[in-house]
Amino acid sequence: MKSLSEIDTVSKRSSKAAGYSWGIAEEIGKNIRLLEIFSLPGIKNLNDFLNKKKNIKLENLNLIAEDNIPNNSQYCPVITGVNFLDQIKTLEALSKIKFKNIAYPLLFLPFVSRASEIVGKRILLKLDEYEFLLNFNNNINSNFSKKEIIEIAKNVSIKILENEDSFNDQEWRELYKLSEETFVEENDSLKQSGAGAGLTDND
């Protein structure tokens, strides 16, 4: 089994060899490592993408809007992802962001996962029929279970979710009341034995 360090390094070097700058290649290395940690086919998709990249009409999306449609081509998943990550603070204000035709969208996914950590909110990413709930770059919940290559996602949408408790106020009050049974009432003895409460001053 290949180590995460090997995955990162080889992904970075192969991306540089395929024409990306070292800075972008560094990002790709981190992303493929992330995909493999989450048991998603990062190496498989990157290898196929880099081998076919010259034969795909790719468009770089620099300024991301609410609706993004390429001109008779496919969006590059890497450049789109880099700019999404860079612009996430601005994009956070949009209710939903849509894209048409992103090539090899699994390579775009880690950028969105990392964006979830930056804004401190969960992000719902839809790649055609597949859904990915990205949780602060800590884990990914998905209905995608195949170790397959996705060459293109025709319809991609991103929704940044507002943080909400998974419980109601009544459940919280009940649990908090139970926790109060562990509280210890402060008395003179505790005050004297507390931190910094010595009776002598050695200074």
DSSP string across 62-107: -S--SEE--SSSEE-HHHHHHHHHHTHHHHTTSS-EEEEEEESGGG
Percent residues over pLDDT 90 in the chain: 87
Query: What is the band of 29 on the pLDDT scale with cuts at 50, 70, 90?
Result: very high
pLDDT value of position 184: 77
Per-residue pLDDT reduced to its tens digit, 108-130: 999 999 999 999 999 999 999 99
pLDDT tens for 62-111 read 999 999 999 999 999 999 999 999 999 999 999 899 999 999 999 999 99
Sequence-ordered list of residues with C-beta below 8 angstroms from that of 46, at least 6 positions apart, any chain: 11, 14, 15, 28, 32, 104, 107
Is residue 32 within 8 Å of residue 11, measured between CB atoms?
yes
Q: Single out the residue of 85, 88, 56 nearest to residue 70, CA to CA.
A: 56
Q: Where are the domains of the chain?
A: 4-160
Does residue 32 sit in helix, strand or coil?
A: helix
Does residue 197 carry a pLDDT above 70?
no
Give the angle subtended at the CA of 82 by the CAs of 128 and 6, to the nearest 5°. 90
Cα 98 to chain centroid distance, Å, stands at 17
Tokens, residue 101: 């035709």
* DSSP character at residue 181: G
**Both structure tokens of 25:** 């290649």
